Amino acid sequence: IDLSVTWLGQAMPGCLYNASGVWCREEEELEAVRASAAAAVVSKSATLAPRDGNPEPRYCQTPLGSINSMGLPNRGFDYYLDYARRYRYGSGKPLFLSLSGLSLDDNCAMLRALAEEGLPAVPEVNLSCPNVPGKPQLGYDFAATAEALDAFDAAYPGLYGVKLPPYFDPAHFAAMAEILNRHPRLAFVTCINSIGNGLVVDIDSEAVVIKPKDGLGGLGGDYVLPTALANVREFYRLLPGKDVVGCGGVKSGREAFMHILAGARAVQVGTCLYHEGPGAFARISSELAVLMRAKGYRSLDAFRGKLRTL
Ligand SMILES: CC(C)(C)CCc1c(C(=O)O)[nH]c(=O)[nH]c1=O
């Protein structure tokens, strides 16, 4: 059973890696993911300057997944760029740097710095990054997204990707695809980021479960799987020549199989990784291999994007 993936001119020994934000803020965490059965590593979304993030509790696990309003706590871009400079490709696992600048200028400054370092990692620009206050996140502001991608093309000469928020309307899938398809070096989209601004209520305390934003936070886990699969399948269809990375609701070989069936080139694990730790990658990989063997598939190419309609 071959779980390897070749994309972006790189080979990955498998198809699973972490979702940005989970087990990837500190170098020790990044190294633990790299040393695990994960096939790649992505860092916590970086801002130019280090950030403490929001007051705790800012993350909460629930029976159906997770809710978080971390507030972009990260060590600052130079910390992750330094890690990228020293990153040992010996393990054959690509490194992605997630970027979430607080302004378009910050995102472009980080992209330019990455280019000047000789592209030691592939950027995954987080389109859930904050926009002008009072406006929706960048990924929900189509004009701002179009402008940002033009600026990214000018700032960075290599292949890059974007992390997309979930979309819920065919007109939004079409509008985003039209913009994304203008950018040939935009090589992949990662679908999806958490479903924004959910509210989890604890009936015993009669209170919300996280402190920031009066309890509003991004949802992950079982809550988001159908939305994640829909975004993977729609953008797989709408972005010819680009790769889609599946993210959302993966906790076993079953959901990884679903994401690849929907068209995912590779699959990220977030909420499940937060709770299980990097051992999750070996478990999910073996579950996926068992599932493939039972179905007679010897590689991911044998079923990628082959989700049947009725
Ligand atoms: C939500 C933002 C803080 C604007 C970006 C960082 C981020 C966070 C976060 O750091 O709160 N959490 C997520 O689930 N997804 C994200 O993209």
What are the boundaries of each domain within the chain? 5-53+72-195+221-302
Q: How many CB atoms within 10 Å of residue 207?
A: 9
Q: What percent of the chain has pLDDT over 70?
A: 99
- Predicted pLDDT at 90: 62
Query: How many angstroms separate the alpha carbon of residue 71 from the centre of ligand 1?
Result: 6
Give the mean pLDDT of 277-292: 98
Q: Say yes or no to pLDDT of 103 above 80.
A: yes
Question: What is the pLDDT confidence band of residue 89, given thresholds at 50, 70 and 90?
Answer: low
| pLDDT on residue 106 | 98
For residue 220, the ligand 1 atom closest to its alpha carbon is 14
Half-sphere exposure of 33 (CA within 13 A, CB side): 30
Q: What is the mean pLDDT of residues 148-171?
A: 98
Distance between Cα 65 and ligand 1 center (Å): 16
Q: Whose CA is nearest to atom 17 of ligand 1?
A: 128
Separation of alpha carbons 128 and 277, rounded Å:
25
Q: Which of 24, 21, 65, 61 is nearest to 41 (CA)?
A: 24
What kind and span of H or E run contains 269? strand 266-269
Lowest pLDDT segment from 30-44, 78-92, 263-277, 290-304: 78-92
Structure-token pair, residue 62: 């629930």
Quote the pLDDT of residue 130.
Answer: 81
Q: For residue 217, what pLDDT is reported?
A: 98
Q: What pLDDT, on a 0 to 100 scale, did the predictor assign at position 116?
A: 96
- pLDDT of 101 reads 97
CATH class as words, domain 5-53+72-195+221-302: alpha beta
pLDDT at site 132: 81
pTM: 0.98
Q: Which atom of ligand 1 is nearest to the CA of 70?
A: 11
pLDDT at 131 over 90: no
Taking the centre of ligand 1 as the mean of its atom positions, its distance from the CA of residue 68, in whole angstroms, is: 8
* Cα of 128 from ligand 1 centre, angstroms: 7
> What value does the mean pLDDT of the chain take?
97
Average pLDDT score over residue span 239-264 = 98
Residues 6+ apart with CB under 8 A from 4: 11, 12, 13, 14, 15, 39, 299, 300
Q: Which residue among 23, 128, 224 is best mutated to probe the pocket of ligand 1, counting the most ligand atoms within 8 A of its Cβ?
A: 128
Split at pLDDT 50, 70, 90, the class of 259 is very high
Token pair, residue 253, equals: 């070989």
Give me the active site residues, please.
129
The answer on pLDDT for 187 being more than 80 is yes
Q: What is the mean pLDDT of residues 173-196?
A: 98
Task: Among 70, 223, 247, name the best residue to mutate to test ligand 1's pocket (greatest count of ligand atoms within 8 A of Cβ).
Answer: 70
Q: At what angle do helices 142-155 and 104-116 cross, to 10 degrees?
A: 20
pLDDT of 309 > 90? The answer is: yes
Q: Whose CA is nearest to atom 4 of ligand 1?
A: 129
Ligand 1: lining residues by beta carbon, under 6 Å: 21, 45, 68-72, 100, 126, 128-130, 193-194, 218
- Verify cis geometry, omega within 30 degrees of 0, for the bond prior to 57: yes
Place of tokens 């302004």: 103
Cβ partners under 8 Å of residue 38, min gap 6: 14, 16, 17, 18, 93, 278, 281
Closest CA to 188 of 113, 229, 247, 251: 247
For range 142-171, the mean pLDDT: 98
Which residue, judged by its Cα, is nearest atom 10 of ligand 1?
A: 72
Rounded to an integer, the average pLDDT of 200-226 is 98
> Which tens digits make up the pLDDT trace of 41-59?
999 999 999 999 999 999 9
Q: What is the mean pLDDT of residues 123-150?
A: 94
C-alpha of residue 72 to centroid of ligand 1, in Å: 6
